[in-house]
Structure 1
Amino acid sequence: MTSKKIIEVTAAIIRKGNRFLCARRKASSEQGGKWEFPGGKIETNESPEQCLERELHEEFAIQSVCGKFLCENTHDYGDKIIKLKAYFVKHTSGDFQLLAHQQIQWLNLNEMQQLDWAEADLPIVDKLTSHYK
């Protein structure tokens, strides 16, 4: 029996008014073309909050401050298990550059539900929808 690798990752919920940042993965990447909340793998000796601030700088060249925890979701992709922790994040400075994604959009909750999301991110969309009803 092979035990699947559990990968701990983070997701940033960045809000601007009643819109949220949604990022589309590059077609050449894993889960290519799917939408996600940006973030990434937590490195050794790194907190989820530190991970998000580092990843957002690497993916978009922005500065940010990690805030309140929203939710956690575990999803089995078959070859690996993703443990995804979502946090509200404040964008503090810098213009968004697409360094790791093919597209970003600022969408309201109704618009977000029309996207083709990475499966691990779907419960976050649901949680946000119920959080802001």
Structure 2
Amino acid sequence: MIEVCCALIFHQGRLLAVQRHADTDHPNQWEFPGGKIEVGETAVECIGREIQEELGIVVRPEAFLYPLVHDYGSKQVKLYPFVCQRGMQELCLTEHQRYIWLNASELGQPDWQEADRLLIALTRLEQLHWFGQDDEDGGKKQCPAQD
């Protein structure tokens, strides 16, 4: 079983979703950012490292949701979800092709990968607690070119 962490990152009343690249094992599907827990690493350490690597931001975990297990057939994952608030840094995608900020009413629109879709369904009421006012950030930016 693969143990992974993901971050439900809220900012000004919206939830962050990131889209995988076409050449990945879940092509073009949307997910919550995160990744595999490394040997000797705690879930809290993992979520901080993964978000820094994938998005270039620092997050503050505010809540830990109950882990879930999902069987993809070819692999089984145990997902440790964290509810996080983002810092003020600009997002800089390194592992994904796009990101969007979603209102609560928009959660059903993206083509989520299966484990994330299950997480949304199981935590629907808890998620609504963290949604607040909308912001105007459409969030489809890419990182500026880096040297």
TM-score scaled by length of structure 1: 0.90
**Structure 1 stretch displaced more, 62-71 or 109-118:** 62-71
Task: Give the number of aligned pairs.
Answer: 128
Q: Does residue 52 of structure 1 match 2:47? A: yes
Give the RMSD, CA atoms, in angstroms.
1.4
Unpaired runs of 5+ in structure 1?
A: 1-5
Cα offsets for 1:73-112 (capped at 9, x unmatched)? 1111111101001011121242101110011000012211
The CA distance in 2 between the partners of 1:87 and 1:64, in whole Å, is 10
2:2 counterpart residue number: 7
The CA distance in 2 between the partners of 1:128 and 1:48, in whole Å, is 19
Matched residue type, 1:100: E
CA shift at 1:45, angstroms?
0.9
Q: Does residue 19 of structure 1 match 2:14? A: yes
**Alpha carbons 1:36, 1:121 under 8 Å: kept:** yes
The CA distance in 2 between the partners of 1:128 and 1:14, in whole Å, is 14
Unpaired runs of 5+ in structure 2?
A: 130-147
Q: Does residue 90 of structure 1 match 2:85? A: yes
Identical residues among aligned pairs (%): 37
Matched residue type, 1:102: Q
Q: Does residue 116 of structure 1 match 2:111? A: yes
In structure 2, relative to structure 1, the CA distance for the partners of 1:33 and 1:103 (3 Å cut) is same
Aligned to 1:71, the other structure's residue is in SS state coil
Instruction: Show the 5 A alignment for 1:25-104.
Output: 25-104=20-99
TM-score scaled by length of structure 2: 0.81
CA shift at 1:70, angstroms?
1.6
